[in-house]
Every structure is written in C-alpha cells, then in structure tokens.
Structure 1
C-alpha cells in the first residue's frame, strides 16, 4: 500500500493513489502511543489568532470516478505550521496539491469547489498556475535535487525569474535559512547528488525558499530520512514558520504533535473529520473517530 493517492507525475514524489485505510494491528496493540506529547509546542504559537492565508470551501477532488476529497472546508493560518494526518489514501496529499494546482498535471483529476489564497480563488480562469507556484513552494517526500551543482540548484528558480541580482548573496541566504550553509559553503560547485539524503532535502528546501514564496508545502519531507536528519528537518520547519506559512503532510503523529500549531485529520473517503489547535486534537478531540485513530485503534 502506498503513502499517497494519485499517479506519479514528477521525479520527486509519488502523488497519492486512492486507497482504503490500512487495517488495524492484528495483535490488538495500539499502533502508536496513546499519549502523544505536545508540550514542546509554544503555547503562544498554538493559541495565537492569525489571519487565514489559505481557505478551502466545499472542495471535492475526483480521479476519474473515484472521489479523493469530499466536501473539505478549512482555513489555514499565516506563519504557522499546519499538519495534515490520517491513514494512507485519505486525501492528505491530494489536498496539499490542490493548494498550488499540482493536480492540474494529472489528466484524470477534476477539482470542484473553491480554494482561496490571499482572498483569490486559485482555480479562477485568470490565475496562472506557474506564477502561483512561485508564491507557493513545494518540497516533496523524496529529495529531488537537480543533477547540477549545489549552487545551481539554489539559484535555479531565481534565474528562471531573471532575478539574478546579488545572486551569490541570495544563494547564501537561502542555504543559511535551510541550515545547510555551514556544511556546504566550501563546496558549492559540488554535485547536489553527492549530498546525503538529509542534506539533499534541506537543499530542496533552500531551493524552494530562495525565490521567497509566501507558503511552503511539504509532503512527508522526513519520511525517507534517518532520525538525526529528521530532527534537523523538524527544527528547520519550526524556524521557517517564523517567516512562512508551512503546510505539512505527515504519517508520523508524534511529528505532527511536535512541530505543528494546527492539525487537520483526514479519514477514509477524503473526509476532513476534525481541524483545530494541535494540542486540542491530540489531547481532547471532539470526534470519536479521531480519538480512535490517534490512539491506534485503526490506522
């Protein structure tokens, strides 16, 4: 069973394929610890009122005749980390790809409803998807650096936009913000493909933020990494939320509890069952289905 719910469309990650949720552990033991620590999140960060930068209204997505999202409505706050959790095939990555219209690249995909970015419906006819993706960057599940030097990877988007003034400074700034500069500053001409997996993922983050987007989407950015690299990515995500709106899909509920301010729980059938402050979702969910999922009764 795959972690995603649409056919593969690029060299980075596998968009999701519409699947049913996996079955419970036959041993009857919880799949995760029923007590998930959310004390690491700042109270001010998790409870602060922030303006909404992304809003979905009655969003439906179909792949041919298969419905991947069912009447999803939610508001994502600016400059916070919003995590999306749920079992495989529940529509998390599908929703993520709606935000910057990556689903446009899938012939069988059909999107209904409305999805607003900064008050503008991104599916209006006058919206240029390429320009939209400059404002809403994407980091995929598997690191996908270009077969170029470290420097050229980070500079790529800037050059495409003819924004090559002070290029060295912008590349250095992006690498510093991605917590990679100290490790690669003396080898910028080295192939990005020679970096470790964790370094490659941070390079992809540097490439995404070099063009100064407003939103960064992350589709399980640490799922292919070892624990040390995962910890670095998590620390980086929390730092990025000081300047960017971050939306992350993760299968790791402990990770969502550690790094997110808001959590959205998707369950089978592409239904958004609950959305709210991360602490409330994990410690006192309103839905019994959400509690059952978090405590490992299914997953």
Structure 2
C-alpha cells in the first residue's frame, strides 16, 4: 500500500469512527462539521473573520449573503480547496467528526473523498456518462460491481431514467441541468460523508433549478449538505439551517432557516433578507 493510500485509509477511519454531539434538531442530532475561530486571508486581504459554527448531519445548511462576503471561501475551506491557492492563509480549526482537517496527518486527497464538491458551472469530464460517474470509484479502487454503483449514483441523482440508454455518450452532450446532475452523481458515487455545493443552480433555467432543489432535499436523507446560494427563496425552500455572512467575512447569524427568515435576531440580517441592501 502506498503512503497516500495509507493516509487516506487513516483519514477515512477517523471520519467513520469519530462523532461530535450537537444540540441541533433534526437529522441524527450530531454535528458533522464544527468550525472554531476560522480566519482566512488572501495575501493581506481578510476574507473570513472569526467564523464559529456547526453544520448538522443529514440536513441542508444554506450559506447566504452578498457577493464577496466569504461564503464560497468558507465552503472551500471545509475540504481544503483553498490549499490550491498560494496566497491563502487559514487560522482556526475546522473539525470533521471531531478531527481537525488541517492537522498535519490529514491527507487533503483523502479528505476530498469524504467531502465531495459540486461547483457553480457544471464541469463534467470529457468522457462518457458512465466513465464520469465511475471515475472516482476507479481512482479509489472501488471498481467491484461498477455497473451497479454507477446505476445507483445516477438513480440517486435523479438522472438514470433520462440517460440509461446512452451511458456510452459523452457527458458533454447533456443539457446544462443534466450535466449538473451528472456532476452530483459523480460526487456521490464514492459515498462521501458531506456534499458541498457552490451555487449549483445559478447557471440553470427554472425547470432545471427545480429538479436540482428536489434532488438536494432528497440527498439530505443520506448526506450532510452545505450549499452556497444567492437565491433567498431557494435557501428558504430547501434548507434546514441558514448561515448569514455579511460584509467583511463575518458570520452575523446562524440558526434554523424558518427563524432566520421570519424572525432574525439582527437588524442587518432582516435588512439583507428583505432586500434593503446587498
């Protein structure tokens, strides 16, 4: 076994066995992700300022706020995508089931196997539909019963009925909404613990957006989902928890979505939600 495989195995074992108790309601009552005093800089510019919050298991947590307030930066910290940005500097702790993902013994590649990500623009590989979904499974050596796993992922992504007779066709030939669901199928095929979504429906038409929203709600029965969205109505429709980030990379309010939208504690949050600024 290679060093990378050993690190991946250790990381996945840690994720599987550790748990953190949470007071949040719904799901299983556990926090999957906990952040404590997280600060992020890009060179000398601070993007996040002292972020402390918990993301509960098997719920949808929406991250909302105006452009440039740090939502996507926060999302990218969870699976260490910001490691790929040379100017990024991160302080504080982000714990996945009790394990700080920035500990020296954590392999980022193994982490990203447990924390999948879906981006704003659909980005299928220039491969067949089948090979797109199978890619992560093959990389991880989980290629036994591959046909069944590919079909299962496509079914869970609500795409199987539309593509089951064209699995050998290019994923690039699908419509925008189908491509995004293909990317979701690719993300869930290796069975991650958490799915991060960065405005997954912003480039889609209303019909495709509705399908993605329905899919996100279904996925929350199996996975912990964190989604960045600029769409207030979307956040209100599909999320259980909402985090409101405002200018300066500050987390101003976090709690049950219904309370955030109907009776927020902070005037700045109410002003943002009602469109008085942002």
TM-score (norm 2): 0.90
Q: Is the 8 A contact 1:46 1:278 kept in 2?
A: no
Q: Is the 8 A contact 1:59 1:70 kept in 2?
A: yes
Q: Is the 8 A contact 2:181 2:212 kept in 1?
A: yes
1:254 aligns with 2:237: no
More RCO (CA 8 Å, sep 6+):
1
User: In the TM superposition, what is the alpha-carbon distance from 1:202 to its structure 2 partner?
Assistant: 0.1
User: In the TM superposition, what is the alpha-carbon distance from 1:50 to its structure 2 partner?
Assistant: 1.9
Q: Aligned partners of 1:46 and 1:262: how far apart in 2? A: 10
Q: What's the secondary structure of 1:93's corresponding residue?
A: helix
1:200 to 179, 187, 207: 179
The residue number in structure 2 matching 1:29 is none
Q: What's the secondary structure of 1:88's corresponding residue?
A: coil
Q: 1:229-268 counterparts in 2 under 5 A? A: 229-268=208-247
User: In the TM superposition, what is the alpha-carbon distance from 1:52 to its structure 2 partner?
Assistant: 0.4
Q: Is the 8 A contact 1:46 1:261 kept in 2?
A: no
Q: 1:118-197 counterparts in 2 under 5 A? A: 118-197=97-176
Q: Is the 8 A contact 2:122 2:183 kept in 1?
A: yes
Deviations 1:242-291 (A, max 9, x none): 00000000000100000000000000000000000000000000001000
The residue number in structure 2 matching 1:89 is 68
Q: Aligned partners of 2:141 and 2:245: how far apart in 1? A: 40
Q: Is the 8 A contact 1:84 1:250 kept in 2?
A: yes
Q: 1:18-97 counterparts in 2 under 5 A? A: 50-97=29-76
Q: Aligned partners of 2:26 and 2:271: how far apart in 1? A: 25
1:286 aligns with 2:265: yes
The residue number in structure 1 matching 2:15 is none
User: In the TM superposition, what is the alpha-carbon distance from 1:95 to its structure 2 partner?
Assistant: 0.3
Q: What's the secondary structure of 2:200's corresponding residue?
A: coil
Deviations 1:132-159 (A, max 9, x none): 0000000000000000000000000000
Q: Is the 8 A contact 2:244 2:252 kept in 1?
A: yes
TM-score (norm 1): 0.84
Q: Which runs of 4+ in 1 moved over 6 A?
A: none
1:99 to 68, 74, 78: 78
The residue number in structure 2 matching 1:117 is 96
Q: Is the 8 A contact 2:27 2:59 kept in 1?
A: no
User: In the TM superposition, what is the alpha-carbon distance from 1:162 to its structure 2 partner?
Assistant: 1.1
Deviations 1:193-213 (A, max 9, x none): 000000000000000000000
Q: Aligned partners of 1:90 and 1:277: how far apart in 2? A: 21
Deviations 1:4-36 (A, max 9, x none): xxxxxxxxxxxxxxxxxxxxxxxxxxxxxxxxx
Extract unaligned runs of 5+ from structure 1: 1-44
Residues 48 and 195 (structure 1 numbering): CA distance in 2 closer, same or farther, change over 3 Å?
A: closer
Q: Is the 8 A contact 1:79 1:245 kept in 2?
A: yes
Aligned length: 255
After superposition, the CA RMSD in angstroms is 1.1
